[in-house]
């Protein structure tokens, strides 16, 4: 399976400000020496030596992750503002043709998880097909309501709306697993105000878990069959790690987790790769990479070789 990240911020889109860009340019200029600019090669080396937080950004779009399975099915986890970028990228892909089916799975319906949907260009093409999935029985109404007057000029349903054929699949409590092509998708309710659902996608012995907007609780650490089969031994766990430890203790009940608890959780369930996701909008790129360093230090003591990554737009993982 291939996993690509299109939106990784939590709560609200967070573009870089001009002051942040100016500060970055100043920080780069301060680092340059005469030797760094003598040739194309030295310039290249200099750029490669810059820290990740300075020579790039995690990006400002809200939650949207694409999973491509062995069958070539396009599975989209949440429709945050990153979905607009994904739609545009699909048009540029080699061998791209209209007439494809997109599977969009929703964790929940807070704005940062649905606001990209009205801007998903593939939804306006009449020969495409979109299958939506959610554990909320009313989700067709919830989604279409954000595309009504006075919130948006184009309706989602009916004449003049999305051109793609649409199907809405409600995942009732009896349907804990369903199939998309070659992969099996499972779900699990997590702790978040108003409710939220995590999903696992499994194929050929590999497992990816998308677990956003969750305040990890003691229940999630319980060694029972449900927890074990959902979380155990995943190859990739994409998890809400929005807060520092002190911020998490101030924001109990807000439905998000501290990064260090996410590390403990991944170690407990023997995860191979942990991806911090749903970044706090107030945290700069530099701060996010500092959290990663602290997380690696936190893991270090355990002797486990869990890999830790910061989700960023453009991150492309294969399992």
Q: At closest approach, how far in Å is the CB of 137 from Zn ion?
A: 19
**Tokens 């793609």 appear where?**
164
CB closer to Zn ion, 23 vs 136: 136
CA angle (293 as vertex; 55, 9 as ends), nearest 5: 60
101-105, strands of its sheet edge to edge: 165-170, 129-134, 101-105, 74-77, 64-68, 2-7, 316-318
Q: Tell me the C-alpha distance between 292 and 25, whole Å.
A: 23
As separate numbers, helices (DSSP H) first and strands (DSSP E) second, the chain gives 8, 14
Q: At closest approach, how far in Å is the CB of 313 from Zn ion?
A: 16
CB closer to Zn ion, 11 vs 244: 11
CB closer to Zn ion, 66 vs 213: 213
Q: Tell me the C-alpha distance between 56 and 105, whole Å.
A: 29
Residue nearest to Zn ion (CB): 110
Q: DSSP string of 46-59? A: HHHHS-TTTS----
Q: At closest approach, how far in Å is the CB of 34 from Zn ion?
A: 47
Which residues in this chain contact Zn ion in the complex, by CB under 5 A? 10, 110, 112, 213
Q: At closest approach, how far in Å is the CB of 256 from Zn ion?
A: 8
CB closer to Zn ion, 112 vs 285: 112
Q: At closest approach, how far in Å is the CB of 112 from Zn ion?
A: 4
Asked if the bond preceding 150 is cis, omega within 30° of 0, the reply is yes
CB closer to Zn ion, 137 vs 193: 193
H or E segment and range at residue 21: helix 18-31
Give the β-pairing of 236-240 and 74-77: unpaired
How distant is the alpha carbon of residue 237 from its chain centre?
A: 11
Integer Rg of the chain from CA: 20
Residue among 204, 202, 208, 197 at smallest CA distance from 179 = 202
Q: At closest approach, how far in Å is the CB of 9 from Zn ion?
A: 9
CB closer to Zn ion, 192 vs 207: 192
Q: At closest approach, how far in Å is the CB of 284 from Zn ion?
A: 19
CB closer to Zn ion, 10 vs 60: 10
């Amino acid at each position: 399976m291939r996993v690509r990240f299109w939106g990784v911020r939590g709560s609200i889109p967070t573009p870089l400000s001009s002051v942040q860009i100016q500060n970055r340019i100043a920080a780069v200029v301060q680092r340059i020496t005469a030797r760094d600019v003598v040739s194309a090669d030295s310039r290249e080396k200099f750029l490669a030596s810059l820290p990740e937080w300075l020579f790039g950004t995690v990006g400002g779009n809200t939650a949207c992750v694409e999973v491509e399975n062995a069958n070539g099915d396009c599975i989209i986890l949440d429709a945050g503002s990153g979905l607009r970028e994904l739609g545009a990228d699909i048009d540029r892909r080699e061998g791209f043709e209209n007439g494809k089916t997109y599977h969009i799975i929703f964790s929940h319906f807070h704005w940062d998880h649905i606001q990209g949907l009205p801007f998903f260009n593939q939804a306006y093409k009449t020969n495409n097909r979109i299958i939506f999935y959610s554990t909320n029985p009313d989700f067709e109404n919830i989604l279409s309501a954000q595309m009504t007057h006075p919130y948006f000029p184009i309706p989602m349903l009916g004449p003049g709306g999305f051109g793609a054929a649409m199907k809405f699949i409600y995942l009732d409590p009896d349907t804990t697993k369903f199939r998309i092509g070659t992969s099996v998708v499972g779900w699990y309710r997590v702790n978040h105000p108003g409710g939220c659902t995590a999903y696992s996608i499994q194929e050929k012995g590999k497992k990816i878990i998308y677990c956003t907007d969750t305040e990890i609780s003691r229940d999630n650490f319980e060694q029972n069959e449900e927890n074990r089969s959902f979380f155990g031994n995943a190859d990739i766990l994409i998890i809400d790690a929005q807060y520092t430890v002190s911020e998490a203790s101030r924001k109990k009940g807000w439905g998000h987790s501290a990064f260090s608890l996410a590390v403990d959780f991944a170690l407990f369930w023997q995860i191979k790769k942990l991806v911090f996701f749903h970044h706090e909008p107030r945290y700069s790129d530099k701060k996010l990479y500092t959290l990663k360093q602290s997380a690696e230090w936190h893991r270090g003591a355990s002797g486990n070789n869990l890999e830790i990554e910061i989700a960023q737009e453009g991150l492309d993982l294969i399992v």
